[in-house]
Every structure is written in structure tokens, then in C-alpha cells.
Amino acid sequence: MKIMVSGTVQGVGFRPTVYRVAKKLGLRGFVLNKGSNVEIGLVNGAGNGDSVADFMDMLNEKLPPLAAIDKIEVKDEPVTGYDDFRILMSSEGRKTSVTPVDTAICDACIHELFDPADHRYLYPFINCTSCGARFSVIKNVPYDRVNTSMQEFQMCENCLTEYKDPMDRRFHAQTTSCPRCGPTYTLYDKNRSVIDARDPIRTFARLIDEGALGIAKSWGGMHLLGTFEQADRVRALYRRPSKPLAVMFRDVPAIEQHLNLTEHEERLLRSPQRPIVLLEKKSMLDSGDLAEISPGLSTVGVYVPYSGLHHVLFHHLKAHGILMTSANVPGEPMTVSNEEAFNLTADYFLLHNRAIVNRLDDSVVKCYGARNQFLRRSRGFVPTALTVPYTEQILSLGAMENVSSSISKDGKLYTSQYIGSTFHYPTLEFLAAGTEQLLNLLGLAMEDIDAIGVDVHPGYATKRYGKSLAEEYSIELVPVQHHWAHAAALMLDNGVEEVMALTLDGTGYGLDKKAWGGELLFANYYSFERVGSLEEIPLIGGEMAIRDPRRLLFAVYSLLSREHDASRWVSDPEADIMAKLMRTAPLTSSFGRVLDALACYLGICQRMTYDGEPAMKLERYLARGEHTYAFETSVDAADRKIVRTLPLFDQLADYRISTEQEKADIAYSFVETLLQELLEIAADVCESTGVQTIGITGGVSYDLPIVSMAERLVKEKGFTFLTHDRIPNGDGGISVGQNVIVGGTFKG
Ligand SMILES: [Zn+2]
Ligand SMILES: [Zn+2]
């Protein structure tokens, strides 16, 4: 009989496990990779029924840690001609699922890495069947060496022996290599002169300890490295005046010296996916070495070594933690090629000679209790699939910022790696390349796509790209409203089919052509109703009001006829210009903009220098505030309920605020009042329709004190509260939401 197994079954040590189990049970037959599945053939014989059941039981029991079986199909086809059990060469087959993810170096490999007697001692490309770079090096499926960038490196006799031995840890480890036959690192200075080709990592580590800035090539891209003291230099050179930088620590105990972490956060940090996790600083006043890493924020993004290079680097480094942040030309995706690396500003370049096939940024997660809030879902998680309730092949392209693309096939939804913000042409090119590669790995061509989902915003580059594909291949283009897509992503994440979604973010294009962002959507996959929103306020100068939140305050206080309070924020000439611009300013119901204005008013953030900065800086105030100020507002009824925000700003201006705690309490009281009103509306609609679940989504839901307030208020009203766990809350999740909504159009 033949057994077809689909899921994460290639490149994770699945076939060797099948082999060992079959051998143990004395079964005859074969195992082979077929497309992206694994086929097992068992010779029929006496007592076969029992042994097949035993076989499946034992296989499940011995399943390698990274393998995941999604589906098993058993066919009663006779298998003959085998007097033993064998692992056969891959055959081309139907491609149904994709490659395994990039996985942190396993403990067994780390043990060898630091064993002076091992021939892979301090070898930075060490890996085995259970670990290493995979998605970042794969060109095509099936996952075999010839289809990866390791193809150029011919295995030496030793490696080949391990590769062929079913009992070896490196049996069929497609990217296996050793110092004799594998890729190598070389250290260059900024003039591209080779500094050290013999012990480049040791020399690089010494230079970093001494204060140099370095570029190091890893699995899926380049990182910029330096000691904490180099933060100012990085900020100046890379035009990141206050954007938080990521830090890699030697190990978890080194992290615990500086930051608080929960058990869940520790597990995540040590997991094979090994994302960057945002952790809370022990003390805001005395964050010591870390003060300049994330100015004004209560958290720092940290991770621990995942590649052989990182482990070897820390072996040589004196520092227990270093800046290690994506290296890119400002506005462009992370640098991947050696040639382009030299366009980056740094003192030294530690580069290897293996091509990066698929750019893969580090994933970034913030934990709400034991739930993962993905700011960026990439290395370690891509391309794992989610199950969706439709079988059409749908491509969806996201919105404008933090874009990803998603493709559905056979009831599974695959999302690309993190792409970035498509204001910039190179990022749009990356979106096209990433989408094409995902199609390829799924065995699909554009001709196979049934529909393309895009945002309704007419100006988004992703929409133009989707439209051009739709025209070229005569595919239906389905525009999906931004916040509905957020709500759909939240539903899929939680396995529910309808939700009252508190959809709070910066901006998304509304069906009335206005900028939405503080919305209560009663949604399922087929339709949605906007039952409530925040009052609209003018965005003076459009996008300019996002970077310069003083404009929001000027608008708010002008509308309240509090000229004195309005003019506090701007010079007289500015006030004249803004007053004129205000008449034609676009309107927004965005919750994010209200937070921006509040943060600006409280002196917490006067200018936005990176996406979400004011709201992020407000977060630590909300975290220690209490509802001690009595704010009151009202709700207007129109086609929807509108929660008024101006009365809150009116009351705000009457308070005298001097201490940091007063700022915290004011911020908390202000925000909770808004949430109370929105959730009051939500509860009314839920009660009249019988819906039990109220959830939160959108970029504002990365602000954990806000999520926590919402959860408490929702539960007090007796409803179930939903938040994200697997799909990004922000625009990284939009392509997922678009996909399921477009999928819904094929039903009925
Ligand atoms: Zn390993
Ligand atoms: Zn070798």
C-alpha cells in the first residue's frame, strides 16, 4: 500500500524517521519526497494490517520536533519488488505544500560547534537534518540540495558519508557541509580589501568589541552590528533618529540582567523559530546601557543567537549583548547581496560566499500573556500555512505598509515573508519577487490564480500591482476594505465566523473615501457593517499631520474655538497656513491619530520619526496610569454611532498637568473613556444580534495596556474577548484578511 503524507515533512528529518521506524518493525518498501509531500510504500504481507497500524503509531511517536503532519492519504496500491526498506531519490510530483522554515541551530549541533575535537569546531555553517537555513536558501521544491544555494558546494567524502547514512544526524540534511567543503566567511574593510580570511570571525569580534561598526551576512540578510555605545553613530548614519534598534544577547541569563521576561517570553526566545521579542526594561529611569537603544520606550527588542555565526561570534566577543539590527539602505528592504553590502556605511564587512535566495527578516513578537502579537512574521514562521475554509487559489497583496502577500491553495493559506512598506520602488520589486517565489514553491503560476485581493485605496502601489496582474492574466480583481480585512484576519486567527471587531489603527481607506481607523465593525467573511466609529477630525496637510501631530492639536482646539489652546502648538505664521489648510483637510476617524494628539499634548512625543512612534511612547504611560480623572463624552447617532472625541480634548485643556504620574493617569482616563463608549455600542449590537465575541485588531492593538483595558471591559460585559496570536495585528495581516474575504465570494 502507499501512504501519502503532507505537511511539514521535508527537510525536517521525516524520511530518516520513517526509515528507522520501518526498519525496527521489519517492514519492506520505500520512502521518497514527492513534490512537497512524502510518499511511503509498504510491501503487503502477512500480518500487514497490524504492522501498518503499529507503523503509524510509532511514526507519530517518533516524529521529529519540526515535522508536522497535516494529512495522510492511504491508497491500496500494491508495492512489490523490495526485499528491504529504502530511501529513494526524490521524484517530481505535484507540489502541494512548501519548504520548512529557517530553524535555529539545535543543541546537538551547538555541542559539536564547541567541541575542539569535532571537525566542525567553530564552523559557522554547522547544521543537521533538524536545523539550519532552509527557506532562505531554497530556489525550488522538492527541498533537495540541487534546489538550494548549497548546490555550488560539492560535499566532501566525509559529509557525503553522513548524508547517506540513515542512522546519522545529517542523513539527507540538504544543506550539510563542513570546513573542508562548505561556504566560508571573509572579512573586508570598507575599501573591500580582505582583512582576514583565516580567522575572520574572531578578528571581526575583536573589532566590534573595540567600537567598530560591522555588517555581517547571516541566513536571510545582512545585519548591522556594534556595541551599545555605537547606537548614536548608527542613528546618524542610517537616519534613524529614535527608532528602536534590536539587540542580540549572548543568552537568556544575559537578558535577565537588563529586562523582565515571563516564562512564555523565555520559551519564545529559546524556540527553534527564535524571533526578536520585545521585553520590558527593568527600570525606565535607570535602563543603563539600554537607554539609547529604544529611547522613550519601555521595551527593547532582543533575541539570542540562532545561526552558527552568532554562536561563534559570541564565543569570541567580550560583550554580552550587541546591537544587531537589519542592515539596509534607508527605505529599502534588507540588503542580501555582497555587492550591495558595500553600499552600506560600516567599518568592516563579514561576508560569506553562499547566495541568499529568499530575503528573510527577523520576526518580531510582543507577548500579551501567552498570545503572540506579531509585529513582523518572517524568519522561523514563513512559510507555515493556516487552514482556510475554501479551496480556490487566491492571491492577495496587502495594503501599503508592512506588506506581505498571501496565496491560498487546497484549503491552506501561505503568507510570504515580511516585505516592508511599498512607498519605495525596491520594496515593491521585493513584493513581486517574493510573491513569484511563493507561487513557484507552491507549484502554481499566475494562470492558476482564481482571484486577486487588494485594498480599496486607489493610490496604493499594491493595488496598481494587483490591477496590472489582473489585466495581464484576465483574473478578477477584488478590492477589500482595509478594516474589514483586519477583522477577517482576527476571525481566522481565532477560528470564529463572526465578530464585533474593535478595529483601531492609523489610517485605512473607508468606503466613504474618508480615512477610517477607529471603527467598530460587525463582520463575517461575507459582509460587514460599520456600527460605530470615532468622531472625525481634520488631518491638516494630510500625511503631514501624521508626522507632525501638533497639526492635530491645532485642528482639534480650533474646532473647539479654543484659539488660545490651538495657537500654543504653532507659531503665528504656521497658524495662518494651518487655518487655511484646515478648510480642505481630509477627515479621519482614526484612533491612532487621537493617541498621537494626546501624546503630543502631554509632551510625550512632538514629532513622529518612525511609524507608530507617538502611540508607542504613550504606551508606557498607559501602563502605569489609573482612571483617576473624570472624562466625559457623548455619542451621536447617525447611520452609525459616533463617539465624540472633541469633548475629551476640551476637558484635557482644563487640567493642569505637571508630574509624570499625572500624565499617566490623564492618558489612561482619556483612553479608557473612549474604549468604554465604543464597547458600550459594541455590547448593544451584540445583545441584539446574539453575537458573543468582541475582539481587537489593527495597529493600535500592539499597545498592550489598551488591549488589557479592552479585555477587562469586554469581560465585564459578559462577552468573549479575542486578540491575535498567529496573524499580525497590523498591516502585516491585511493580505491574510483580504484572502479569506475573497475566498468568501466563491461560496454560494
Ligand atoms: Zn542541528
Ligand atoms: Zn564536508
- CA 182 to ligand 2 centroid distance, Å: 6
Cell numbers linked to 407: 496565496
The answer to whether the CB of 324 falls within 8 A of the CB of 223 is yes
Selection from 679, 744, 745 nearest residue 715 by Cα:
679
Strands 364-368 and 276-281: parallel
The answer to whether the CB of 209 falls within 8 A of the CB of 377 is no
Over residues 217-268, the pLDDT tens digits come to: 999 999 999 999 999 999 999 989 999 999 999 999 999 999 999 999 999 9
Return the residue matching grid coordinates 474604549: 675
- pLDDT, position 490: 98
- pLDDT, position 287: 60
One-letter amino acid for residue 192 of the chain: R
739 included as an active-site residue: no
Q: Average pLDDT of 548-563?
A: 96
Q: In the chain, what is the straight-line distance between the N-terminal and C-terminal CA atoms, in Å?
A: 38
The answer to whether the CB of 195 falls within 8 A of the CB of 185 is no
Q: Which CATH class is domain 98-183?
A: alpha beta
pLDDT above 60 for 504? yes
Backbone angles phi and psi of 573, in degrees to 5? -60, -40
Torsional class of 331: left (φ above 0), alpha (ψ -120 to 50), beta (otherwise): left
Q: Among 33, 37, 147, 494, which one carries the catalytic annotation?
A: 33
Q: Average pLDDT of 65-81?
A: 87
- pLDDT, position 93: 52
Q: What is the pLDDT confidence band of residue 748, given thresholds at 50, 70 and 90?
A: low
- pLDDT, position 48: 57
Q: Which ligand is nearest to the CA of 181?
A: 2
Mean pLDDT for the chain overall: 94
Selection from 577, 573, 582 nearest residue 555 by Cα:
582
What is the predicted ipTM? 0.98
pLDDT above 90 for 87? no
- CA 217 to ligand 1 centroid distance, Å: 20
Select from 2.60.410.10, 1.10.150.120, 3.30.70.100, 3.40.250.10 the CATH code of 2-87.
3.30.70.100
CA 284 and chain centroid, separation: 27
Q: Which ligand is nearest to the CA of 153?
A: 2
Over residues 270-281, the pLDDT tens digits come to: 999 999 999 999
- pLDDT, position 34: 84
- pLDDT, position 575: 93
- CA 153 to ligand 2 centroid distance, Å: 9
Report CA-CA distances (Å) from 34 to 37, 76, 114, 722.
5, 18, 37, 39
- pLDDT, position 384: 85
- pLDDT, position 370: 97
Q: Which ligand is nearest to the CA of 159?
A: 2
Please, which residues bridge with residue 95 across strands? none
CA–CA dist 166, 20 (Å, integer): 8
Q: What is the pLDDT confidence band of residue 143, given thresholds at 50, 70 and 90?
A: confident
Per DSSP, helices labelled H in 602-733 are 613-623, 646-652, 660-689, 704-716
The answer to whether the CB of 594 falls within 8 A of the CB of 516 is no
- CA 226 to ligand 1 centroid distance, Å: 28
Q: Among 15, 20, 530, 593, which one carries the catalytic annotation?
A: 15
- CA 88 to ligand 2 centroid distance, Å: 22
Report CA-CA distances (Å) from 212 to 196, 206, 208, 294, 352.
15, 9, 5, 20, 19
One-letter amino acid for residue 40 of the chain: I
The answer to whether the CB of 99 falls within 8 A of the CB of 36 is yes
The answer to whether the CB of 312 falls within 8 A of the CB of 122 is yes
One-letter amino acid for residue 707 of the chain: V
**Is it true that 98-183 and 379-495+732-744 share their CATH fold?**
no
Over residues 341-373, the pLDDT tens digits come to: 999 999 999 999 999 999 999 999 999 999 999
Low-confidence winner among 35-39, 170-174, 478-482, 586-590 (lowest mean pLDDT): 35-39
Strands 693-697 and 498-509: parallel
Burial (CB count within 10 angstroms: exposed 0-12, middle 13-18, buried 19+), residue 53: exposed
Instruction: Tell me if residue 737 falls in helix, strand or coil.
Output: helix
402 included as an active-site residue: no
Over residues 648-683, the pLDDT tens digits come to: 999 999 999 999 999 999 999 999 999 999 999 999
CA 612 and chain centroid, separation: 16
- pLDDT, position 98: 56
Q: What is the pLDDT confidence band of residue 129, given thresholds at 50, 70 and 90?
A: confident
CA–CA dist 536, 516 (Å, integer): 9
Q: Tell me how many degrees the CA angle 51-57-62 measures, rounded to the nearest 5.
A: 120
Burial (CB count within 10 angstroms: exposed 0-12, middle 13-18, buried 19+), residue 91: exposed
Cell numbers linked to 251: 543568552
Instruction: Tell me if residue 497 falls in helix, strand or coil.
Output: coil
Over residues 181-224, the pLDDT tens digits come to: 999 999 999 999 999 878 999 999 999 999 999 999 999 999 99
Low-confidence winner among 97-101, 212-216, 273-277, 478-482 (lowest mean pLDDT): 97-101
Instruction: Tell me if residue 356 falls in helix, strand or coil.
Output: coil
Per-domain boundaries in the chain: 2-87, 98-183, 185-365, 379-495+732-744, 501-727
Instruction: Tell me if residue 642 falls in helix, strand or coil.
Output: strand
Q: What is the pLDDT confidence band of residue 416, given thresholds at 50, 70 and 90?
A: very high
- pLDDT, position 167: 84
- CA 110 to ligand 1 centroid distance, Å: 7
- pLDDT, position 162: 96
pLDDT above 90 for 16? no
Q: Which ligand is nearest to the CA of 183?
A: 2
CATH topology of domain 185-365: DHBP synthase (3.90.870)
- CA 434 to ligand 1 centroid distance, Å: 27
- pLDDT, position 49: 62
The DSSP element (H or E) to which 474 belongs, if any, is none
pLDDT above 60 for 36? yes
Q: Which ligand is nearest to the CA of 177?
A: 2
- pLDDT, position 286: 57
The answer to whether the CB of 169 falls within 8 A of the CB of 17 is no
For ligand 1, a single-atom ion, which residues have Cβ within 5 Å?
106, 109, 128, 130-131
- pLDDT, position 285: 57
- CA 309 to ligand 1 centroid distance, Å: 14
Most confident of 133-142, 304-313, 380-389: 304-313
pLDDT above 90 for 710? yes
The answer to whether the CB of 563 falls within 8 A of the CB of 653 is no
- pLDDT, position 68: 85
E strand spans, 344-428: 348-352, 364-368, 371-376, 385-387, 394-396, 406-409, 412-415
The answer to whether the CB of 10 falls within 8 A of the CB of 38 is yes
Selection from 615, 618, 652 nearest residue 632 by Cα:
652
Q: Which ligand is nearest to the CA of 126?
A: 1
- CA 239 to ligand 1 centroid distance, Å: 38
- CA 129 to ligand 2 centroid distance, Å: 15
- CA 170 to ligand 1 centroid distance, Å: 8
- pLDDT, position 234: 95
Q: What is the pLDDT confidence band of residue 706, given thresholds at 50, 70 and 90?
A: very high
CATH topology of domain 501-727: Nucleotidyltransferase; domain 5 (3.30.420)
Is 379-495+732-744 CATH 3.30.420.360? yes
